[in-house]
Amino acid sequence: MVVIPVAVFVLVFLLTRPLFTKVTRRPVQEPEQKEETQTEEILDTDTAVVKAASDDMKGAPGWNVSDSGWWYLNDDMTTFTGGWKTIDGQRYYFKDSGYMATGWVNTGTVKDSYFDSYGILDTSKQQKLVALTYDDGPSANTDKVLDALEKYGAKATFFVVGMQADYYTSQLQREYDLGMEIGNHSYTHPWLNQLTPDEIDEELGHDDDVISKVTGSAPALVRPTGGGISANVIESINRPLIQWDVDTLDWEHLDADQTYDRAMRLVQDGSIILMHDLFAPSADCADRMISSLQEAGYKLVTVSELAEAYGYDLEPGGQYYAFYPGGCEENRTKQQGLDEIYDA
């Protein structure tokens, strides 16, 4: 009873750091003119709140430092906390504690910002973004993928098959609780592009119902089964259709090394990587792949976050292969180009 539906599904799928010291520090440098990839809000708006300095933050007006970090005292002994502040022409970000941020910092936008050891915003350092997508689950392998995502503070998008979620409901719940994006991938995983509009509605509606019971709402995004498109799919689904530009072919070779190698070789800023949490080898390479992508300068985000970060509007019936920085037009051709390069 437990094994049979999964086995049948797999079969079907296979077919298819000095204390209170005022410090005169830093060479104050001219802000360089750099590529404007940060939003205007980051460049122009101070969001830091002025607060009375805490007991730990004594000192003279200006910059002060202790073992806990740098802070800035105004003449009235207030400090800046929790946001952006321009001082002497440089952009800084202050933590809620009032200490100056350094390194990669989440300032509330999808992309993190980089602050050098003086705490100065360095827009020459840009994070790259990538969306990992896992289809056809949840399954007995999903927890291994979620363990890796949780370990590295990463996000992914799961295109969920309803009949799998009916059985692996705790895995779907965990995806949701960890802040992963959940997308619709039909209830029984038929070739949607071979179905009538009514049949497509039934498949997606049933999957919406299963997912909504856990998440409270129907998913905003759909991945057509097999990436298959038809006029009926585009017209009746009426939601953004999420494809991919990096196909690991994990379902075909069922090999963790090949899945890892293809993802690492083909990924670029804005990529959507296709994998399947239905299969053990795809889950087995998740830890290695996530840590390697982060070491390579990528932040792992959901599909919706990726689109938002690079300014894409997601339209119903629109097909999206990737969200490269700087424009929609080339998405489709890039995807085809990658396939040709690899397959040649």
User: Active-site residue numbers?
Assistant: 135, 276
The distance of closest approach from Cβ of residue 243 to Zn ion in the complex, given in angstroms and rounded to an integer, is: 12
User: Which is nearer to Zn ion, 91 or 223 (by Cβ)?
Assistant: 223
Burial class of residue 14 in the structure, from the number of CB atoms within 10 Å of its CB (0-12 exposed, 13-18 middle, 19+ buried): exposed
Both tokens of 261, joined, read 């190698």
Scanning 45-53, 136-144, 234-242, 318-326 for contacts with Zn ion by CB under 5 A, the matching segment is 136-144
Of 136 and 305, nearer to Zn ion (C-beta) is 136
Q: Does 245 bind Zn ion (CB under 5 A)?
A: no
Give the number of residues in contact with Zn ion, rule: CB under 5 A: 3
Q: Does 284 bind Zn ion (CB under 5 A)?
A: no
Binding-site member from 70, 136, 156, 283 for Zn ion (CB under 5 A): 136
CA distance 158 to 276: 9
305 forms part of the interface with Zn ion (CB under 5 A):
no
Q: How far apart are CA 257 and CA 185, in angstroms?
A: 26
Closest CA to 137 of 8, 276, 299: 276
First to last CA, the chain: 44
Nearer to Zn ion, 73 or 246 (CB): 246
Nearest-angstrom CA–CA distance, 220 and 215: 12
Short-list 112, 103, 80, CA closest to 17? 103
Q: Is 135 in the site for Zn ion (CB under 5 A)?
A: yes
Q: Of the two residues 205 and 297, which places its CB atom closer to Zn ion in the complex?
A: 205
Report, in Å, the least distance between residue 216 CB and Zn ion: 24
| Contacting residues toward Zn ion, per CB under 5 A | 135-136, 225
